[in-house]
Chains A and B, each alone.
Chain A
Amino acid sequence: DIQMTQSPSPLSASVGDRVIITCQASQDISTYLNWYQQKPGKAPKLLIYDASDLETGVPSRFGGSGSGTHFTFTITSLQPEDVATYYCQQYGNLPLTFGGGTKVEIK
């Protein structure tokens, strides 16, 4: 199975800060990587697919990059409504696997 390792967790930042989350795959997955946001008590929501493509309707302050084994997720200017846990997910191989999550809090 492909292991996905996220860091940091948790992450505390101020409103307006640039936030970067990293996701490391245990083997090369090309750009087969997605990012989700999950707010407490809610279902996850797809933000980024194929490593860098923004899902329709998602604010442009969210972005993703990377390929191979190293990926980053960026919030360019953290907003109060961005408080959530963020997960990466690979689809390079079955089983589909998620990272352990990064909880983002406001300082």
Chain B
Amino acid sequence: EVQLVESGGGLVRPGESLRLSCAASGFFFTDYWMSWVRQSPGKGLEWVANINLDGSAQNYVDSVKGRFIISRDNAKKSLYLQMNNLTPDDSAIYFCARSSDSQGGISAAHFDSWGQGARVSVSS
């Protein structure tokens, strides 16, 4: 059974940093791109970042570029999100998601497994 378990959420002040972790099990971690998706309170879903199989390529939504870093440790089957210079707009539940390819071979096309989410609150 595929399992994704996030940890590291919490309450921080604006400008501070936080590191989220996602522990994966039940599948070959190195076979999949991985992503972070967030959801602000009462709002919709926003893709944040993804990372390729060996960690050599990352993509980010513009609002977090230069502040967030996605990484992975394949030996530990873990995904990370280092979040720096946090602002209240970053307050959300952050989901770790496994990304699968489309039938046509496009990488990281859809999110077929999700964690339960980690809550991040940024407030003074």
Q: Is the CB of B95 within 8 A of A98?
A: no
Q: How far is the CB of A65 from chain B (nearest CB, A)?
A: 15
Minimum CB–CB distance for A66 against chain B, Å: 15
Selected contact of A91 from candidates B45, B46, B106, CB within 8 Å: B106
Check A44–B102 contact: CB distance below 8 A: no
Determine if B110 is an interface residue (Cβ-Cβ < 8 Å). Answer: yes
Q: Which of A53, A87, A95 neighbours the largest number of chain B CB atoms within 10 Å of its CB?
A: A95
Categorize the interface residue count of chain A: 20 to 34
* CB-based A-B contact count at 8 angstroms: 66
In chain A, positions 63-107 with a C-beta closer than 8 Å to chain B are: 87, 89, 91, 94-101
CB pair A98–B114 under 8 Å, yes or no, is: no
Total interface residues on B, CB under 8 Å, equals 26
Contacts of B60 in A (CB 8 A): 95
Contact of B59 with A by CB under 8 A: yes
Interface membership of A19, Cβ < 8 A: no
Contact mask B26-56 → A, CB, 8 Å, 1/0? 0000000001010000001111001000000
- Contact B103–A50 (Cβ < 8 Å): yes
**Sample of 8 A–B contacts (CB below 8 Å):** A32-B106, A43-B114, A49-B100, A87-B45, A89-B47, A91-B110, A95-B61, A100-B44
**A residues lining the B interface (CB < 8 Å):** 32, 34, 36, 38, 43-46, 49-50, 53, 55, 87, 89, 91, 94-101
